[in-house]
Amino acid sequence: MLIKGIIKRYRWQLIFTFSLILSEALLGILFPLFIGRAIGDVLNKELTGLWLLGILGFLLVIIGGFRRMYDSRLYARVYTQLSSATLNRMPKDEHSTKTARLSMLSEMVKFAEFQLPDIIQHSIGLIGVMAIIAFLNLNIFFGALLSGALVIGLYLLSGKKTFLFNQAYNNELEEQVNVISQNRQSELKLHLLKLMRWNIKLSDVETINYSFSWLFMLLLLLAAIALSAWNGNIEYGALFALIMYVYQYIESMVSLPLYYQQWLRLTEITQRIQKF
d(CA 57, CA 124): 18
Query: What secondary structure, in 3-state letters, does the chain show?
Result: CHHHHHHHHCHHHHHHHHHHHHHHHHHHHHHHHHHHHHHHHHHCCCCHHHHHHHHHHHHHHHHHHHHHHHHHHHHHHHHHHHHHHHHHHCCCCCHHHHHHHHHHHHHHHHHHHHHHHHHHHHHHHHHHHHHHHHHHCHHHHHHHHHHHHHHHHHHHHCHHHHHHHHHHHHHHHCCHHHHHHHCCHHHHHHHHHHHHHHHHHHHHHHHHHHHHHHHHHHHHHHHHHHHHHHCCCCCHHHHHHHHHHHHHHHHHHHHHHHHHHHHHHHHHHHHHHCCC
Contacts of 110 (CB under 8 A, 6+ apart): 75
Can you give the pLDDT at residue 3?
Answer: 58
d(CA 188, CA 182): 9
Please list the pLDDT of the chain residue by residue as tens digits (276 residues): 555 666 778 788 888 988 998 888 888 878 877 887 888 788 888 888 889 888 998 898 899 889 888 888 888 888 787 777 766 766 666 666 667 777 777 777 777 777 778 788 778 878 888 888 888 888 889 999 999 999 999 988 988 898 899 888 888 887 877 777 777 778 878 888 888 888 888 888 888 888 888 899 889 988 888 877 676 566 666 777 788 888 888 888 887 777 888 888 888 887 777 665
What pLDDT score does 108 carry? Answer: 78
- Asked if residues 27 and 60 have their Cβ atoms less than 8 Å apart, the reply is yes
Residues 6 or more apart from 88 whose CB is under 8 A from it?
none
Q: Please tell me the predicted confidence (pLDDT) of residue 194.
A: 85
Q: At what angle do helices 48-89 and 95-110 cross, to 10 degrees?
A: 160
Cα 26 to the center of its chain, rounded Å = 17
- Domain boundaries in the chain? 2-273
| 2-273 topology per CATH | ABC transporter transmembrane region fold (1.20.1560)
Phi-psi region of 134 (alpha: psi -120 to 50; beta: other; left: phi over 0): alpha
Of 275, 273, 269, 83, the residue nearest 169 (C-alpha): 269
* The model's pTM: 0.67
Amino acid at 141: F
For the CA atoms of 200, 205, 211, 215, the dihedral, rounded to the nearest 10 degrees, stands at 170
Please tell me the distance from the alpha carbon of residue 209 to that of residue 14, in angstroms, as a whole number: 32
**Cα angle: 197, vertex 198, 203; to 5 degrees:** 100
